[in-house]
Amino acid sequence: MTVVLKLGGSVITDKETPETVDDDALTAAVDAIADADPDRLVVVHGGGSFGHVAASERGMGRTTGSRDAADVWAVHDAMRRLNDAVLDRLHDAGVPALPVHPLSVAARTEGNELSLPLDSTARLLGEGFVPVLHGDVVGHAGSGATIVSGDELVTRLAAGLDADRVGLCSTVPGVYDADGGVIHRITDVASVEDALGDADATDVTGGMAAKVRALLALDATAYVFGPASLSAFLAGESAGTVIDG
């Protein structure tokens, strides 16, 4: 079974404090992954207070780019350092994780289409490793370099690797309805559109509405859940909000 898991940047960092890892939360997430020991797992993590802050300070987004190498490096370097922290924790827990940096493999066309070749990721996965990708900057035809979000990577990985399950671990226990309760299942965006809110803190890649729309387009069943449900998701159980289009 192939599982694609995203650890939200708001889960593993303090999004209100620039470039600060939430040590306890990251350790708990890594422990859940190590205890589950899934056969085929790909991990993606968000930018949190690392990439989002760096990109926001430089006015970069998914369609607004920069041709200044210093800008591009600043964002990538922030994400690389966060990725290093995630990899270090995974290695300490005995997880055979290896990084895949999107800057080196992905690109956007002038029409904003994302190309993400998966040969290296698929080969690592097939050889028993856990590929770990992250939000990043990528070359963008006509725009220099722009941001690729972890959510975009998740949907491309899920489709390209024929994933069986997709999980987005966020700081909330699921997708909330208008009354603040967790929606158990979403099969179309129209039924929950009014309840979907914007992103919190500094986020250049969109909020819950964008996540739900992207997950509904997948063939695989997806789940949005909080850290407390990560172990259940990795064990193959239902968790948080089920998104199945």
Binding residues: 6-10, 47-48, 52, 150, 207, 211
Annotated binding residues for ATP, as ranges?
Answer: 6-10, 48, 207, 211
Q: Residue 86: which of 169, 1, 200, 198 has the closest Cα?
A: 169
d(CA 207, CA 161) in angstroms, rounded, equals: 25
Can you spell out the DSSP letters for the chain?
-EEEEEE-HHHHB-TTSTT-B-HHHHHHHHHHHHHH--SEEEEEE--HHHHHHHHHHTT--SS--B--HHHHHHHHHHHHHHHHHHHHHHHHTT--EEE--HHHH-EE-TT--EE---HHHHHHHHTT-EEEEE-EEEEETTTEEEEE-HHHHHHHHHHHTT-SEEEEE-SSSS-B-TTSPBPSEES-STTTGGG--PPPSS-SS--HHHHHHHHHT-SSEEEEE-GGGHHHHHTT---SEEE--
- CA separation (Å) from 187 to 190, 191, 214? 9, 8, 12
Q: Which residue positions form the known binding site for substrate? A: 47, 52, 150
